[in-house]
Chains A and B, each alone.
Chain A
Amino acid sequence: MNFSDILTMRHELMLTLLALVVLIIDLNLHNRDKHYIIPITLSLFFIHTVVGFLPAEKSVLFGGMYQTKPLLVMMKNILNVGVLIILLQSVTWLKKEENREKISEYFILLFSTLIGMYFMISSGDFLMFYLGLELATIPIAALAAYTHHNTKSAEAGIKLLLTSALSSGILLFGISLIYGSTGSIYFDTVTNLYQNSPMQVLAFIFFFSGMAFKLSLVPFHLWTADVYEGAPINVTSYLSVISKGAAAFILIIVMFTVFNKIAPIYNHILYLIAVLTMTIGNLFALRQKNMKRFLAFSSIAQAGFILLGILGGNVLGMTSVIYFVLVYIFSNLGAFGVVSAISTVTGKESMDDYDGLYATNPKLSLLMMLALFSLAGIPPVAGFFGKFFLFASAASAGYYWLVFIAVLNATISLYYYLLVVKAMFINKNETPLAYFKSDLATRTGLVLAGLGIFILGFWSQIYEVINNLSFGLIH
């Protein structure tokens, strides 16, 4: 291993450097100048995102603990773009008086979790995987409690911390069983040694349960709504979009490589959990009045759809999951962006407050509608394509009834997404939220999300690129 090999970890290295730079700048700034951190960090992160798109090569570091290949780099880039949009959307909120002293904390904690996700995605063995996972989770708990003077936020932090600890424990137990039965923690070795002995199936179940907590699959979803509601809105969108996206990425990699041999067994589990997650997530979402809780439950249901791609068990499934996550990031950030913009300016988060929004804020309403249509899977926006390909991959494995249940669930989800559309466009309101103009950063964030929602579907090259990269991964 020489110096140039280290450079293949450029995502991790650059982001670590970025976090340190933010820290040092923060130390040298006077309290009243703290807000300068925001533009500096944003531009640095923008450069980081752009550099991430430079062509990458396959390489293995640290004796197999760390691996990288174009597909993994692609996943990291997808996350980067999402984070960039979130950062843009959080600028107004960070500039508020009460947050002035802890601007840099927000960035540093956020970047730490992102570094954790990078390592998790690039891990070549369970140790690195676990380290990455923890690094990706614990700082989020601090972020969720960011407005700690607010009881709900503090509660969210503690809840997230406790559930993460529990799920990590379960996950670690699964890993220990894997190590016990195969004598190795390296993905490659484990893949070859994995059989369907009862202990290894048990190991898988523990491992999967741990991951299910992170992805908030039913019945491991109970923490989601409270945490999403309590955490500051931008942290919520980070949790539901980036955190979940990264977990989906690593889950599908591990399922398709390490546990590939027990696919006939885990497919039953996945089938059941997929049905439960979609249905229960949807049914709870029907009754929510708070927009954050509403999006929380809708994102639980969306996670259920991701399992359909894993059930597909082929290149089509892999590609569809990655593509779906990409589309999901943009659609959800569109929705969260609007909620965040409104919540930051007016402090209103209830669905009733959105009554008659179109009359006063037509652009925000239109973006919200497009984002919700995309989440529901309505053409011509990107969500339609994402869902169609996921369903296609499940159908390719013969799960027609599951596809039917999933599409029916998409119809149920359409009902509650339409409730928001109805509030904005149809409901009459004597005193709708007053017109306001968001600042440049928020608008850029919203426009980026909107562009993604529109373009990603029609632009089939993106799907093809993901497909080509996925091809080598599965046999």
Chain B
Amino acid sequence: MSILNLFIIVPLLTVGGILLTKDLRQSRLVSAVGMGFQMILSFVLVYLYLHERAAGNTATMLFTYDALWFPTLNIHYALGVDGISVAMIALTGIVVFAGIFASWKMTYLPREFFISLIILASGVFGFFISVDLFTMFLFYELAVIPMYLLIGIWGSGPKEYSAMKLTLMLMAGSAMLMVGILGIYFFSSPDHSHLTFNLMEISKIKIPIEMQRFLFPFTFIGFGILGALFPFHTWSPDGHASAPTAVSMLHAGVLMKLGGYGAFRVAIFLMPEAAHEQAWIFLILTSISVVYGAFSAVVQNDLKYINAYSSVSHCGLVLFAVLMMNQTAMNGAIVQMISHGLMTALFFALIGMIYGRTHTRIIQEMGGLMKVIPFLGVVYVIAGLASLGLPGFSGFVAEMIIFVGAFQHVDVFHRVITILAASSIVITAVYILRVVGLLLMGPIKNDHFLHLDDAKWYERISTVTLVLAITAIGVAPFWLTNMINYSLAPIVEKLSAIQITSLF
């Protein structure tokens, strides 16, 4: 029995525990205990992973667990993690834990809220620990569907519209993914005798190039929709703006990472030839995401929309880096996923807390909040600085590595597109500083704001956890990058073994 099974069992037990509770007090306590345990578990996993590696275990996937599920189709319940998934699991653990504390005052149908939230979380955990495409797909959909209820029931604004739009667009993404996965499955064995869904086994063979050309766009766009790939990103701003705080945190922080993670773990890793051929199309699309997302954030006035568009920009950068397909850039992509996950979760948590006090999210209506709620104000500035890539925070590490990696390509196309994408750093600074200026500095515009309370203890737990994680990565990125690099090596090796026949 592998430790990884616990990542499914603990959420299930927590859900069972919440079912037994009666009111908000009890259900949030059970959720906090369960997800706190889950977070500690993910730290233990990081420790165990590093320990195994130090002991000289060179297997690609560690802690594997494999149970035959549907023998006829050779579907397994197969688990395993490498450095990348361990890092993603740690991220998920932190964000979910912070999310529970951010919803401490969820008075409307609290039990249902926490149950949906934890089902969502278990889908994400399941996705990151799966090495079987079928279970991976199952967990992917499991993570998407609770979003409908979470946004629809507990959301704000045009919540029904946003919830439906988000669900349908993501399900359309999973429709494309379904085609991709089935195609990969039926070509997972050269002589069609031992078809398999197992990622590691499929990666050992070469899928026929004609099939790759057909399947790669399906798989990449399928995951790309969740990773806010232009022009399929439109669910993201509406969805994030309407979602309750914890859901925005989880969704932007973790769920969108499923897209980036899947894009390189499934699409690029299994179909490297087609990836090389078609990368230029998607590079153009992702750099549009990066720049367009940033520009959109500049002109928005609603805090949540600003952050949602900023997420489009940052997640675009993840896909951008993944498509560069070299060790440095891909390493940056994963650091960026983790960094953005923490940052954006912090942002959404703060926005939720500020909105809970001022009852508005329009930045022009606020001002001078630093004077009345200094704790939240300072944390907001920290999140902002991390987001615009100030050295010492995780954002700098990630963007630095990505652009260094991207610039390693010597041809004109990659250089130009890298410079274009890098311009987003400046635009990011514009919208972050604009918000900080309007929101926190200047005179207090509303007398009502004079009597606001600063962060409560549970809000402090939520934010401090995230700030600590961001700073930890910013100050000491090496343990993370080392862990990722080790596991990226076989992937990059596979990618670089290919004769590049790209258009550029």
Contact = CB atoms under 8 A, between A and B. Distances in A.
B182 to A, nearest CB: 4
B98 to A, nearest CB: 26
Interface in B468-500: none
Contact of B152 (A384, A389, A400, A422): A422
Contacts of B182: 391-392, 395, 400, 403
Interface in A431-475: 460, 463-464, 467
Interface string A369-380: 000010000111
Interface in B126-155: 134, 138-139, 141-142, 145, 148-149, 152-153
B504 interface: no
Contact of B142 (A380, A403, A414, A425): A380
A407 B175 contact: yes
A378 B174 CA distance: 11
B56 interface: no
B10 interface: no
A362 to B, nearest CB: 9
Given A373-B145, A392-B185, A426 B152 contact: yes
A408 B142 contact: no
Interface in B152-209: 152-153, 159-160, 164, 167-168, 171-172, 174-176, 178-179, 182-183, 185-186
A464 to B, nearest CB: 6
B70 interface: yes
Contact of B72 (A373, A378, A395, A467): A467
B59 interface: no
Interface in A389-412: 389, 391-392, 395-396, 400, 403-404, 407-408, 410-411
A378 B69 contact: no
A284 interface: no
Interface in B59-75: 69-73, 75
Contacts of B168: 411, 414-415
Contacts of B160: 422, 426
Contact of A460 (B69, B152, B178, B186): B69
Interface residues on A, range: 20 to 34
Q: How large is the interface on B (under 10, 10 to 19, 20 to 34, 35 or more residues)?
A: 20 to 34
B214 interface: yes
A413 B71 CA distance: 30
A391 B152 contact: no
B164 A407 contact: no
A414 B164 CA distance: 10
Contacts of B139: 379
A212 interface: no
A426 B72 CA distance: 41
B148 A418 contact: yes
A392 B138 contact: no
Contact of B148 (A407, A411, A421): A421
A112 interface: no
B136 to A, nearest CB: 11
A340 B484 CA distance: 55
A379 B141 contact: yes
Contact of A464 (B71, B152, B164): B71
A425 B153 contact: yes
A392 B178 CA distance: 9
Interface string B4-16: 0000000000000
B186 A396 contact: yes
Contact of A384 (B70, B138, B183): B138
B73 A395 contact: no
Given A316-B72, A319-B72, A422-B160, A408 B175 contact: yes
Nearest to B172: A411
B149 A425 contact: yes
B142 A379 contact: yes
A153 B119 CA distance: 44
A425 B178 CA distance: 29
Q: Which 3 A-B pairs have the closest CB atoms?
A: A407-B175, A395-B182, A411-B171
26 contacts: A378-B145, A379-B142, A380-B142, A389-B73, A391-B182, A392-B182, A400-B179, A404-B175, A407-B175, A408-B175, A410-B171, A414-B168, A415-B168, A418-B164, A418-B167, A421-B149, A422-B160, A425-B149, A425-B152, A426-B160, A460-B75, A463-B70, A463-B72, A464-B70, A464-B72, A467-B72
Given A373-B145, A395-B185, A411-B168, 18 more contacts: A379-B141, A379-B142, A384-B141, A388-B134, A388-B178, A389-B73, A392-B182, A395-B179, A395-B182, A404-B175, A407-B176, A407-B179, A408-B172, A415-B164, A422-B164, A426-B152, A464-B71, A464-B72
Interface of B: 69-73, 75, 134, 138-139, 141-142, 145, 148-149, 152-153, 159-160, 164, 167-168, 171-172, 174-176, 178-179, 182-183, 185-186, 214, 218
